[in-house]
Amino acid sequence: MVIAVITLAPNFGGVSIIYRFLVGSLSDVQWDEIRLAAPWTIALPPVILLAGRRLNILRLGDEVAEGLGVGVRRTRAVLFATSVLLVAPVVAIAGPIGFIALVSPHIVRRLLRTSDARVVMPVAAVTGAVLVLAADGAARLALHPHEVAVGLWTALLGAPVLLVLMQRGIFGKRPSA
SS (H, E, C) the chain: CHHHHHHHCCCHHHHHHHHHHHHCCCCCCCHHHHHHHHHHHHHCHHHHHHCHHHHHHHCCCHHHHHHCCCCHHHHHHHHHHHHHHHHHHHHHHHCCCCCHHHHHHHHHHHHHCCCCHHHHHHHHHHHHHHHHHHHHHHHHHHECCECCCHHHHHHHHHHHHHHHHHHHCCCCCCCCC
Identify whether 12 is part of a domain. Answer: no
Claim: this prediction has a pTM higher than 0.85: no
- The pLDDT of residue 175 is 43
What band does 159 get if pLDDT is binned at 50, 70 and 90?
Answer: confident
64-106 tens-digit pLDDT: 999 999 999 999 999 999 999 999 998 888 888 888 888 899 8
Residue 18 pLDDT > 80 = no
Question: Are 75 and 137 in a shared domain?
Answer: no
Mean per-residue pLDDT of the chain: 84
- 101 and 116 co-located in one domain: yes
Residue 35 within a domain: yes
Domain containing 79 equals: 30-94
* Structural domain total, the chain: 2
